[in-house]
Structure 1
Amino acid sequence: MSVIDRTADGERGGAAPSVVVLGATGFVGRHLCAAFAAAGWAVTGVARGTPAVPPPYRTVALDLVRAAPERITRLLAECGAQVVVNAAGAVWGVGEDEMALANTVLVRRLVAAVAALPDRPRLVQLGSVHEYGPGPRRGITEDTPARPVTPYGRSKLAGGLAVLEAARAGRVDGLVLRVSNVSGPGTDPVSLLGRVARHLTAASPGALRLAPLLAHRDFVDVRDVADAVLAAAGSPATGRVVNIGGGRAVPVRDLVTRLTELAGRGTEIVEAPAPGGRPPEAEWQRMDIGLARTLLGWRPRRSLDDSLRDLLAEARTAARLRPVVQCRSSRPGHHGRDG
């Protein structure tokens, strides 16, 4: 029985379809949980810690990096999972070993856990454009050879291949969404756009020093990513890679300039190479998203301006709350992707 059939059966029986989102407290994971909940799904969010403010869906605290496949299988069975979305992983501020654990080993354990279930759920793995490495100017299609040049890209590719190989062997019902650079409300403050937004919403921002903004990159709003995952949850396609992005190469310098314009502040941007620094990973990056339209019926709906405005709005809110959080809590924050 396909995931579509199981979902329809659940709806006819009066029970909401069930989804388990791994990495539920991260930037993308929070939006995924909200989108599934708004669409009427019974959501279980899984992350290492619990949110400071309880969300309107079930949450489970579990260190997925160290959890055995049997523990993950029990959790999925208890939730009656019809769809499992893996938005967990590591990208910012960690070494290669931790990236390998979070982006490769975890996924292999997840595949084993899903394969052990008698009624296998649909598995949606969130991959990354960085699995491709530097892209051709004509655009990155799903047939573009994957030649990652960073530890992050290599670890994400290895995790995605684990899902694809298992799906093509008939052990799981899964697919991989390779997602471009994600923007929108809640963007990680360690990322380029998050760092710029945080600087622009500070009380007295001075000059902002950045590495040379030479790259052209593909950006997609986080809420459009959530829409794509919802579409993938019901798609009959399995064992496939599908690109999810904005579909155009955006000059990063123009994007930073636009952020400053939308913030209404004349902040000086200083571009200076770090001593011994490496050039950007992908000088030119544009995702071909034609297959997403064909297989998923998906296309991005939010403009880049809307995405940047909402990023700034949430950054302003965070700036107002930041002193309160620092006074009330002595625990160090965690800004990893999976919360």
Structure 2
Amino acid sequence: MTVAVVGSGSFIAQALRAKRPDWLYLSHKQMDAAVGAQCIINCAFALSFRTGLYDGTEDIDLSLARLASKTDAHFIMLSSRLVYGTGHDKAWHEDDPGKPQTPYARNKWQVEQNLAETLSPDRLTVLRLATLCGRESRRRSFFGIALDRLKAEGKITLDMAAATRRDFMPVDDAAAAIIAVAEAPQAGRFNVGSGFGTACGTIAQALIDGYGSGTWESDESAGIRDAFWLDTAKLRAAYPALPCLTPEDIYTHARACGAWARGQ
């Protein structure tokens, strides 16, 4: 299987490269070089899509899908759990309707719709990712912000109640799932996450435990904010060899990330 990964500098692509260095890694400006690959994975996303309106001229997924449509390539889009919306008191399932609430989520949702109209259903896989986490610095993510503040201020500040549970997944485990899909593609939508929620306060404490010092505080007046977790049964059924994560795995991973930050 010849696999091309577009967005070579991204957090996810770096995790993929560590496991599969034999794949072809390209920047979005090199996407034409993906022609001939049997599977194309896009990890790139226009920065303007994070806060602005959808613009088809900047849709990297759509450009790659059009490229893939001229060959027999299978296309894998990395979408987001945010397409489901917020305020859910149970696990999000792939069949739940999309209710995106932010520009980023709406743009991801629009990209999903565009790809469905561009590629035949049997050649498209959409992976809706949970909150991926790892050894991050200067990255606008939960772990990235928390670790940067821990190093700079000795404190992690949560803008939600400590009991808020979210689906955290180590990026290496997400990479393993993406690799499994790329090497034996199955079409459709799949949630990719730990399959359960972990309290944000627990994550903050684990990062501090690994770091070796520091404190954390939460905004209890904000209440439970953007709690979510993903139903991953469909992915597990399609790829049964993937390991099942446990709450202890997430805690151990967070501690390791804290220890890594200490050495930076």
Query: Which residue does 2:181 correspond to in 1?
Result: 232
Closer, same or farther in 2 for the Cα pair 1:89/1:236, shift >3 Å?
closer
Take 2:57 and 2:76, find their aligned partners in 1: how far apart are those partners?
14
Q: Does 1:45 align with 2:45?
A: no
Q: 1:295 aligns with which of 223, 234, 238?
A: 238
User: Does the residue aligned with 2:215 lie in a helix, a strand or coil?
Assistant: coil
| 1:247–1:289 CA contact under 8 A, matched in 2 | yes
- The one-letter code sitting in structure 2 at the alignment partner of 1:223 is D
Name the counterpart of 1:111.
65
1:316 aligns with 2:259: no
- C-alpha separation in 2, matches of 1:300 and 1:90: 32
Q: What's the offset of the Cα at 1:313?
A: 3.8
TM-score normalised by structure 2 residue count:
0.85
What residue identity is the alignment partner of 1:155?
N
User: RCO (CA 8 Å, sep 6+): is it higher in 1 or 2?
Assistant: 1
How big is the shift at 1:176?
Answer: 0.6
Paired AA for residue 76 in structure 1: A
Q: Which amino acid aligns with 2:116?
A: L
Distance 1:244 1:299, change over 3 A: farther
The 10-residue stretch of structure 1 (102-111 or 258-267) with the greater mean CA deviation from structure 2: 102-111
- Tell me, what secondary structure is at the counterpart of 2:3? strand
CA deviation vs aligned residue, 1:6-26 (integer Å, no higher than 9, x gap): x3xxxxxxxxxx221111111
Gaps of 5+ in 1: 1-6, 8-17, 48-61, 65-71, 320-339
Q: 2:29 matched to 1:63? A: yes
Q: Deviations over 1:140-166 (max 9, x none)?
A: 111111101111111111112223333
Confirm whether residue 84 of structure 1 aligns to residue 30 of structure 2.
Answer: no
Choose the corresponding residue for 2:171, options 222, 227, 232: 222
Cα distance between partner residues in 1 of 2:262 and 2:38: 38
Equivalent residue for 1:181? 131
Q: Greater CA deviation, 226-235 or 101-110?
A: 101-110
Change in 2 beyond 3 A, CA 1:226/1:20: same
Match for 1:31 among 15, 31, 41?
Answer: 15
Residue type at the aligned position of 2:132? V
Q: Could you tell me how far 1:259 is from its partner in structure 2?
A: 1.6
Paired residue for 2:228? 285
Deviation at 1:84, TM superposition (A): 0.9
Q: Distance in 2 between matches of 1:236 and 1:271?
A: 43
CA RMSD of aligned residues (A): 3.0
| Conserved 8 A contact 1:22-1:85 | yes
Percent sequence identity over matched residues?
A: 23
1:306 corresponds to which residue? 252
CA contact (8 A) 1:167 1:175 kept: no
Q: Which runs of 5+ in 2 are unaligned?
A: none
Q: Structure 1 residues 131, 187: CA separation in 2 closer, same or farther (over 3 Å shift)?
A: farther
What is the one-letter code of the residue matched to 1:259?
L
Look at both structures and tell me which one has the larger radius of gyration over its CA atoms: 1
Aligned residue pair count: 260
Q: How far is the alpha carbon of 1:236 from its aligned partner?
A: 4.4
Tell whether the 8 Å contact from 2:211 to 2:261 is kept in structure 1 after alignment.
Answer: no
SS at match of 2:41: strand
SS at match of 1:230: helix
